[in-house]
Structure formats: C-alpha cells, structure tokens
Chain A
C-alpha cells in the first residue's frame, strides 16, 4: 500500500513537470511570436535613390541632404567593403551615362580615390583633402597631387565603388550639400 502511494506521488509529480514544461514552452512561444501588427503608411518623404540603379547602395552618413558644412567638416559614408572607391563632388548633377563610363565634365569640382593613389579608408574623407577633377583626361579623372578647396555654394556628392577589375559595383545617391 505504501509503495503504491509513493508510486502515485511520483506519477503526479511527473505529470506536473510535463504540464509545466508545456506551459513554459507555450509562454516562451507567445513571447517570441509577436508579429508586427502595426499600421503602415507611406511617407511623402523618401530616401533618395542611388545614382546607378544596377549597383549596390553605399550609405552616406554625413553631411545630411541640404546640410551646410564648413572647411573643417568630414564626409562620412560606408564603402569599406569595396576594393576601389571614389568620392566625387559636382556643382550640378552629372550625366549618369558618362559617369558610368568614367567620363566627367566641367561639373566635377573635386574628388578623392584610391584609384588615383589618394588616402582612402572607405569611411571618411576630410573636406581639406580633396583633389582637382581633370575633365579632359579620360584615363585619369582626378589629379594625383593638385588639391582643391571648395568655394561657397551648393554641391552634390557621390560615392562610387569598383571591383578588382574596376567595374562599377556600388553607388550612393547624389546628395546636395551647401558649403559656407
């Protein structure tokens, strides 16, 4: 009789453990399964499209679109994954067709690139470390040595990324900034 009672107690205890295991799993599941049921609306304010749609996006962190910057400012972006990169500054939007072929016109004011053997970490460029664009030179669009300093006005900046064979693989939007 005593053996039977002990056996039953054990059985009840085992059942309770199974039930609590079930409850534990269930509660954890409820916690994890919280689907996003929030309302969704499209804003009229949208991130700007990248300059070359068939490439991967390079995010530009600073300056913000339309922001006014000074000579001590820094361009910040995310292009450390690309083999070769270039940051170019234009005084008006360039032709996408020409830029894709590596041809620049007079709208290109300044730039920096490790293709031209400039310092390049894929993340930051100091405004004081920009080189002159060479619009008439299709083989070398940026001077290797001649620095350039921006005049006050509005400009667009674009970051481009290339693979080992210098094919264009990444691009950012062309973002406006003001220089004072």
Chain B
C-alpha cells in the first residue's frame, strides 16, 4: 500500500515538472507569416492610437508591458497616430503572426491623450486585417 502511494506521489511530481517544461516550449508551430494591419475609426470622435507588438502584452495604468515589446509605427515625430472620424488609415503596419498586437485607443484633449480602451489580438483572421474602433468603443479585427 505504501509503495503504491509512493509511486502515485512520484508520478504527480513528474507530471508537475513536465507541465512547467511544456509551458516554455510552445514556439514550435508553423513558420510565422507577415500580417498587414490597417486601422479604421468608427468611434464618432477623433481618436489617437498606439499599436504595440510583442508577446504577453498588457496595458495597465498607462504602462505597456510585454516581452519583445515594440512600437509599430513608421511615422516620425509622432507619439501617437491620429485618426479623424470615419477615417480609414491607408498606411500598413506589419506584424508577425507569432506575435500579439496591442492597440491602445484614446482621444486628444488639449495637449493630452485621454485613454478610452485597449485590446490585445493574439490571433489574426487572415494576412490582411483591419482593426475597427466602433461607436460603442469596442475594438474588433476583421479580414480586409
């Protein structure tokens, strides 16, 4: 009886350690592809947008957290991307399919950019996508 209990115990230990090892070995899927991203403002108010790429992305109290964190813009001298009401941004942003994209949306007010909402996308519906900020402040990603 004692032996059986012992082997159950050792087996549990083995499974637990194996689980930890598996958590770090998740990068062996198919080769990453380039994903083209565009942005559309359907919010009904001028917005400012930041796009971040990386993994384990998170936005909390004005701070962006993530592994291999990278801001996606190509514009120079711009902290944020401004989009007028109903504007569809023609420029493309490219992100790798194995990375997540964090979009932070705000509105300009005097010299400040006031936070509205954010969303992280870990999967993409296709290789060309549009991120839409709708009238209710919800952020959705669709195939172009």
Contacts and interface: CB of A to CB of B under 8 A. Distances in A.
B116 interface: yes
Chain A contact patch, size range? 20 to 34
A46 B115 contact: yes
B65 A68 contact: no
Interface residues of B, number: 48
A90 B6 CA distance: 71
Interface stretch (B25-33, B86-94, B100-108, B122-130): B100-108
Contact of B114 (A24, A31, A65, A68): A65
Contacts of B2: 13
Interface of B: 2-3, 6, 9-10, 12-13, 16-17, 20, 43-48, 50, 52, 54, 56, 58-59, 61-69, 71, 79-80, 104-107, 109, 112-117, 135-137
Nearest to B56: A38
A38 B137 contact: no
B107 to A, nearest CB: 4
A46 B114 contact: yes
A30 interface: yes
Nearest to B11: A20
A13 B6 contact: yes
Q: Which of A36, A37, A40 has most B Cβ within 10 Å? A: A40
A28 B105 CA distance: 39
B20 A30 contact: yes
Contacts of B56: 38
Contacts of A68: 44-45, 135
**Do most interface residues of chain B lie in helix, strand or loop, or is the interface mixed?**
strand
Given A64-B137, A68-B135, A43 B64 contact: yes
24 contacts: A13-B6, A17-B6, A20-B9, A20-B13, A23-B17, A38-B56, A38-B65, A39-B65, A39-B68, A41-B63, A41-B64, A41-B71, A43-B62, A44-B113, A45-B114, A47-B61, A64-B117, A65-B109, A65-B116, A66-B44, A66-B47, A67-B116, A68-B44, A176-B107
A38 B69 CA distance: 8
Contacts of A23: 13, 17
Nearest to A36: B65
Contacts of B13: 20, 23-24, 27
B45 A45 contact: no
B113 A40 contact: no
B116 A66 contact: yes
A67 B64 contact: no
